[in-house]
Amino acid sequence: MTAVEFGSGGKGAAAPRAAFRAGWGQLAIGLLVLAFLLVFLVWPVATVIWVAFTEKGSSSFTLTNFADFARTDLFIRSLWNSFYASAMAVVGASMLALPLAYLTTRYVFRGAKLVQVLGFLPLIMPPFVGAVALQLFFGRNGSVNLLLDDWIGIKIPFMEGLNGVIFVQSIHYFPFILVNLTTALQNLDRSMEEAAQNLGSHGFRLFRRIVFPLALPGYVAGASLVFVKVFDDLATPLLLNVKDMLAPQAYLRVTSIGIADPMGYVISVVLIVASVAAMWASSLATRNIDYATLQRGGGGHAKRELKSLSAVLAYALVFVIIALVLAPHVALLLLSFATVWSFSPLPDGFTVAHYVRVFSDSAGLIKNTLLYATLAGLIDIIVGTAISYLVLRSKIAGARALDLLATAALAVPGVVLGIGYLRAFYDIRLWDGTSLASAWIVIVIALAIRRLPYALRACYAALQQISASLEEAAENLGATKGATIRRIVIPLMTGGLVAGFVTSFATAAVELSATLMLVQTDANAPLAYGLYVFMQSASGRGPGAALGVIAVLIVAVGVVVSQRVAERTRRIDNGSLGN
């Protein structure tokens, strides 16, 4: 791809890179990462996707399918709709995330931690049951519209058409921006702001001219994820029955029985190319600017105080946003305790029977979910850090290509990855005669590959904010490259690593599409699969919701624990760096 150009094209302020020679160690890391991606992403996906380049029903090579794509109105309309919805969702998500991130990091704000944890939860929408909860709350005959209709005789089409997709996706994915931006803001050197304040800048101007530009890597990391994720997401459009977008078109064609239709795979290829292009474009936005500051977030003065009137406004704004984005979860909670909930603002009655019913099954499901999601998150931050380091600190040709390759995983539909894994690994037998594809570790790797782009963006943004001169100083003092990474780079990146881990962990915990292909016994099933099994019948709705609530709780606990860990390490680092 554009690797060569990127490897040598860094100029101007990105110069510190030049200080580092591509050593054997870096090359070895690069090759390891490449091997990992080739075996677990490129090869399995290629076994499925090649159909796009063959004539239907035979295996001869052709590009006719791509011409057909361009000639079909439906696909072109879908392509445009996907672009439009993604761009608008970035706008919507930014509007939700910016106030939360800014107010809770820049000011003395009671409950800032709580807001950051709650603001993360919308990312965790358990499959199927989350959709039902959303409809029950915001749908045409959901609680909000039934009440509005009763009081003033109007209904608001929250969940209709493309606007519905934009609305739901903004709520769903704004945590990507929130998490990355919050981390970036926390890492900022506050003395910069103070300097600006001393020079008379304040309010919105201070934000626009100083704070936001310095935190740009975090914002771009989040916003680009939102864009690509909305572009590639099929759950929400299908939930709203919007079918003229690319991802649902690919999904509907790939998963139909019996018909070997190449167009589904053609669309998958288009999705992958478009996503990689979008990520590449977003990297241009932060390429030639140096975002690194020497001081880390702990420096400078304490957070600013809010004055009385603005304090009231700020708390009110945060409350409204949190209430809006958590409404689906409140509905989910209600649903998990509801007897029957049908065409009414609230359920007919409440019961704990659903929790009793899932109780016996859930221990194994919870254990598997925690195990898989934790391992996947760890793999992701290790690989993510390695790639970021190679791109930002080494001169290895093709490092940027690794970044884009890993990012392409975002665009691979889960079901394609699942089928690819079966195809690639099923015939590899383990020592006991069972297939590699039926081992649970394969589920972990599939989850890690699918969530790698999230962690990668967070790691990348974190490293971008660290000045390479700190590393040079360490090396000048005689530290080896390994020791520098271990003692300087990793500790300084902690915030970003945690953000990456949490995002991967949390979203892996509710992943279903690839998992559904790979789970081969009940004993290996994660929560999302158990939830799916319940959500196929009328009486399974309550128990499904109960499992959904459990999944959300697990993730919330995971987020809190990781933040605690991050806090502790940050405090230790700050101490040792003498801030």
Partner 1 sequence: MSAWWLRIVNALFFFALPLTCYAQQPSGKLSVVTSFAKDVTDPVKKAFEAANPAVTLDVQNRNTNAGVKFLEETRSNNQVDLFWASAPDAFEVLKSKSLLQNYKPKATGIPEKIGQFPINDPQGYYFGFAASGYGIMWNERYAKANKLPDPKEWQDLTSPQYFDHVSIAAPSRSGTTHLTIETILQGEGWAKGWATVRRMAGNFREVTERSFGVPEAVNSGQIGYGIVIDFFAFSSQASGFPVKFVYPSVTAIVPANIGIVANAPNKGAAEAFVDFLLSPAGQNLLFDPRIRRLPVNPAAYDKAPAGYPNPFTDPRLNSMVKFDVKKSEARNDAVDTLFDQTITFQLADLKEAAKAINEVEQALAKKSNPQAKALLDEAIAQMTAVPITEEQASSPEISGAFSGGKGKKGARQAELEQQWASFAKEHNAAARAKAAEALKLAK
Asked whether position 126 contacts partner 1 by CB under 8 A, the answer is no
Asked whether position 350 contacts partner 1 by CB under 8 A, the answer is no
| Residue in 113, 155, 287, 423 binding partner 1, rule: CB under 8 A | 423
Asked whether position 414 contacts partner 1 by CB under 8 A, the answer is no
Q: Is the dihedral of CA 45, 48, 52, 58 positive or negative?
A: positive
**Which residues are CB-contacts of 275 (< 8 A; sequence separation ≥ 6)?**
228, 231, 232, 407, 408, 410, 411
- Per DSSP, the three-state class of 304 is strand
**Which residues are CB-contacts of 441 (< 8 A; sequence separation ≥ 6)?**
none
Interacting span for partner 1 (CB under 8 A) from 6-14, 207-215, 313-321, 415-423: 415-423
Asked whether position 241 contacts partner 1 by CB under 8 A, the answer is yes
Minimum distance, C-beta of residue 71 to partner 1, in the bound complex (Å): 6
| Residue in 8, 339, 469, 576 binding partner 1, rule: CB under 8 A | 339
Binding mask 55-74 for partner 1 (x = CB under 8 A): xxxx-x---xx--xx-xxxx
Binding mask 142-181 for partner 1 (x = CB under 8 A): x------------------x--------------------
Site for partner 1 in 471-510 (CB under 8 A): none
Q: Which is nearer to partner 1, 469 or 539 (CB)?
A: 539
Q: Which is nearer to partner 1, 429 or 568 (CB)?
A: 429
AA letter at 514: A
Number of residues that bind partner 1 (CB under 8 A): 71
Site for partner 1 in 219-238 (CB under 8 A): 238
Q: Which is nearer to partner 1, 154 or 432 (CB)?
A: 432
Question: Helices H, strands E: what count in the chain?
Answer: 27, 0
Whether 225 and 161 have beta carbons less than 8 Å apart is answered as: no
CA distances from 242 to 87, 162, 327 (A): 17, 7, 22
Q: Which is nearer to partner 1, 204 or 431 (CB)?
A: 431
AA letter at 255: T
The candidate with the shortest Cα–Cα distance to 170, out of 156, 157, 180, 158, is: 158
Q: Which is nearer to partner 1, 199 or 259 (CB)?
A: 259
Whether 434 and 54 have beta carbons less than 8 Å apart is answered as: no
- Per DSSP, the three-state class of 434 is coil
Tokens found for residue 260: 């070997």
Tokens found for residue 339: 């007897």
Asked whether position 205 contacts partner 1 by CB under 8 A, the answer is no
Q: Report which secondary-structure segment, H or E, holds 302.
A: none
Interacting span for partner 1 (CB under 8 A) from 90-98, 254-262, 468-476, 498-506: 254-262
Tokens found for residue 301: 């003065």
Minimum distance, C-beta of residue 69 to partner 1, in the bound complex (Å): 8
Minimum distance, C-beta of residue 143 to partner 1, in the bound complex (Å): 11
Q: Is the dihedral of CA 170, 115, 447, 518 positive or negative?
A: negative
Minimum distance, C-beta of residue 410 to partner 1, in the bound complex (Å): 22
Minimum distance, C-beta of residue 185 to partner 1, in the bound complex (Å): 40
The candidate with the shortest Cα–Cα distance to 89, out of 264, 267, 245, 269, is: 245
CB atoms near residue 117 (< 10 Å): 17
Minimum distance, C-beta of residue 412 to partner 1, in the bound complex (Å): 16
Minimum distance, C-beta of residue 354 to partner 1, in the bound complex (Å): 11
Asked whether position 532 contacts partner 1 by CB under 8 A, the answer is yes
Interacting span for partner 1 (CB under 8 A) from 24-32, 176-184, 386-394, 533-541: 533-541
Whether 272 and 416 have beta carbons less than 8 Å apart is answered as: no
Asked whether position 270 contacts partner 1 by CB under 8 A, the answer is no
Asked whether position 412 contacts partner 1 by CB under 8 A, the answer is no
Determine the Cα–Cα distance for residues 248 and 245; give it in Å rounded to an integer: 6
Q: Which is nearer to partner 1, 442 or 559 (CB)?
A: 442
Q: Which is nearer to partner 1, 377 or 543 (CB)?
A: 543
